[in-house]
Every structure is written in structure tokens, then in C-alpha cells.
Amino acid sequence: MLILAINGSPRPDGNTARLLRSVRQIVEDAGAEFIFLQVSEILKEQKVPYCLACSSPCAGKCFRGTQLEETFKIMRKADGIIIGSPVYFSTVSAPLKAFWDKTRLLRRERALLNVVGGAVTVGNARFGGQETTLRALHDMMLCQGMTVVGDGFSEEDAGHQGACAQEPAGEDAQALKRVQLLAKRVIAVARATRGLRNRSN
């Protein structure tokens, strides 16, 4: 089983990355592979970093031979994806939105259909737009046909929409606990729904 952590923060070692990396041990202890993807690095080779909808349906011309194409190959194999973003004006970061807009080809292929998704976000303030950012992350995943879960887990509680943190995330004990519960939920649901995923591409 493959679980991806996608960091939408421009900072590869910032608060969002810290939360996402904190689940590696949980994923590996469950017998799954963990891969961390840094969106800002993946987009570096793109002449235009955002989608122009240059063809419909998407032909993938803009990312052929780039790291983005290799990233999409990895995403086609994923059983679960945990996406993280800092709060930018109550929604996701621009790099993450640009990256996700370029997944149009994956949507046409239904490559992420029934892949399990969870969301993580970090704000500067305790009530700084985290829940609206989680909702945006959920909407992005739902548009790919993903199975979205929150941070509830059978051994804990029913949870909420996902893991919300306040900077500095490394000192937010509650957020660290919630992101680990989210990872456990993603793994459990991914295991239970394995047969539903499209692996013909």
C-alpha cells in the first residue's frame, strides 16, 4: 500500500511539512510505503506554473518529460493521499492550487477515483481560516472522485474535518495527535477499499 503526503507550502521544512512528515512512522508501521512530495519543487520545471486549459480533454503537453509527469506516475499508484496547506487568505496556497489544477489528466483517467484523502492545515492564529482551508482541500479531492475522510479513528473518537494546527506546528500537541489519527484513518479506509481503485492506467 502506498500513502502520499503532499506539501502545498512553499517551505519544504516549514510547519505544514513538519505535520505531514510526523505520520511517516505510523504509515510504515502499518506496512505501507510513505512518500513525501514537495509541490514547489515539482512545479519548478513548468514554463507556466498554473494550468491554462490549453487542450480539452487534457493531453498533458505542459508536463511531458518533467518532474510533474513523474509525480503523476506516483499518484496513479497511491492508495491514500494526505494533503497539507498553510492558510493563505482562508484557503489553500497558490502553489498547491496550481499543482492540483494540473491534475486534469488524472481526472480524465479517473486515476484517483476511490483513493482515500485526508487534509491538514496550519494557520498563524488559532482561528485563522483552518477549517475553510480544509473545506477547500476536501473539495479539490472530491472533484477527483476521492474518498475523503476526517481525523476520527475507532480507538479514539469520531473526529472532525481533518487536522488543524497553529504555528509553530511542532509545539501544537493537539494538532500532532490529530494528524496521526488522520493518518491511521486514511490507512484503515484505504485498506478496506483497495479493490475499488482503478489500476488499469
Quick: pLDDT tens for 89-127.
Answer: 999 999 999 999 999 999 999 999 999 999 999 999 888
Instruction: Establish if 199 belongs to a structural domain.
Output: no
The dihedral of CA 101, 107, 111, 113: what is its sign?
positive
Number of independent structural domains in the chain? 1
Cell numbers representing residue 116 in the block: 482515500
Omega prior to 57 cis, within 30 of 0 = yes
pLDDT in the model for residue 165:
93
Is a pLDDT exceeding 60 seen at residue 201?
no
Instruction: Establish if 84 belongs to a structural domain.
Output: yes
The dihedral of CA 185, 187, 192, 196: what is its sign?
positive
Nearest to 144 by CA among 183, 71, 197: 197
Per the model's pLDDT, the better-predicted residue between 124 and 27 turns out to be: 27
Instruction: Establish if 80 belongs to a structural domain.
Output: yes
Which residues are CB-neighbours of 71 under 8 A, at least 6 positions away? 37, 42
As a whole number of angstroms, the distance between CA 32 and CA 47 comes to 35
The whole-model pTM stands at: 0.95
Instruction: Establish if 117 belongs to a structural domain.
Output: yes
Q: ∠ at Cα 64 (93, 54), nearest 5°?
A: 65
Q: Domain range for residue 100?
A: 2-191
The dihedral of CA 157, 161, 163, 165: what is its sign?
negative
What is the CATH classification number for the domain harbouring 86? 3.40.50.360
Instruction: Establish if 15 belongs to a structural domain.
Output: yes
Instruction: Establish if 200 belongs to a structural domain.
Output: no
Is a pLDDT exceeding 90 seen at residue 32?
yes
Instruction: Establish if 70 belongs to a structural domain.
Output: yes
Tell me the percentage of the chain whose pLDDT exceeds 70: 99
Instruction: Establish if 75 belongs to a structural domain.
Output: yes
Once rounded to an integer, what is the mean pLDDT over residues 15-42? 97
Cell numbers representing residue 68 in the block: 510533474
Confidence label for 200 from pLDDT (cuts 50, 70 and 90): low
Terminal C-alpha separation, the chain: 17
